[in-house]
Amino acid sequence: MRIAIFAERETPVALRAQVLALQAQAWPPAADDPGAGGADGGDADGDWHDPALDPMAMLLLDDGDTVLASLDVLSKAITHGGRVYRARGLSRVVTDAAYRGRGHGRRLVAQAREEIRGSGADLGLFTCDRDLRGFYESAGWQLVPGAVLVGGTPDDPLPSDRFDKVTMAGFFSPAAQRHAGSFTGARIALHSGLIDRLW
């Protein structure tokens, strides 16, 4: 097995098609919206992320070119507690149902953490369903108790506490490590835009 990393729009067509199929498996399009695809119910031309978030695709492949698991990494500068941080987060994490329970998703999520750590980002920050907290912790991420990510825009916010979500993080730079406590119980202005409203 190997992990392949691409700028999202440079993902080879055959691999991208497999990724979209996995996303549709995990998040089936609504019956009245057959053009929807992926985790966000996006557009018919491939359900791309907002290019302003510098999306990166990470794929776990078998010894051939079969995608076993995939995720996307999004990037954005955020301001919190009067400080600016380079933040990166996970989106659309999915493992093929036929290969679940074998550690493939955990391996990919753990590698994503190391990629983010090595990228120069100050921190990794994202939300997940509450019942997936243990999965992400087993891959090295930590819970940020009481934290709420506020996505969307300042004029049209989408806070994560509207859903049964928890906030996970990795604090990598010295500045992020020093001020990690300021994220606990805080509302964190992610403001990721109107395409990827929350990650």
Q: Whole-angstrom Cα distance, residue 48 to residue 25?
A: 17
Domain ranges of the chain: 2-189
pLDDT at residue 61 greater than cutoff 90: yes
Average pLDDT score, the chain:
92
Burial code (b: 16+ CB inside 10 Å, e: under 16) for 57-95 equals bbbbbeeeeebbbbbbbbbbebebeeeebbbbbbbbbbb
**By C-alpha distance, which of 199, 129, 128 is closest to 158?**
199
Confidence of residue 30 (pLDDT cuts 50, 70, 90): confident
Does residue 45 have a pLDDT over 70?
Answer: no
How does residue 7 score in pLDDT terms, banded at 50, 70 and 90? very high
In sequence order, the 6+-apart residues with CB closer than 8 A to the CB of 152 are 158, 191, 192, 193, 194, 197, 198
Neighbours of 177 (CB within 10 A): 12
Q: Which CATH superfamily is domain 2-189 in?
A: Gcn5-related N-acetyltransferase (GNAT) (3.40.630.30)
pLDDT at 29: 82
What values do phi and psi take at 56, rounded to 5?
-125, 135
Task: Say what the pLDDT of residue 129 is.
Answer: 96
Q: Kindly state the average pLDDT of the residues 25-29.
A: 89
pLDDT attached to residue 46: 55
Positive/negative CA dihedral, 163, 29, 40, 183:
positive
Is residue 37's pLDDT more than 60?
no
Give the model's pLDDT for residue 41.
Answer: 40
Contacts of 34 (CB under 8 A, 6+ apart): none
Mean pLDDT of the 18-44 span: 67
- More confident of the two residues 42 and 119: 119
What is the average pLDDT across 95-110?
95
pLDDT tens digit string along 131-160?
A: 999 999 999 999 999 999 999 999 999 999
pTM here is 0.90
pLDDT digits (tens, 9 = 90+) for 163-192: 999 999 999 999 999 999 999 999 999 999
Determine the pLDDT at residue 39: 43
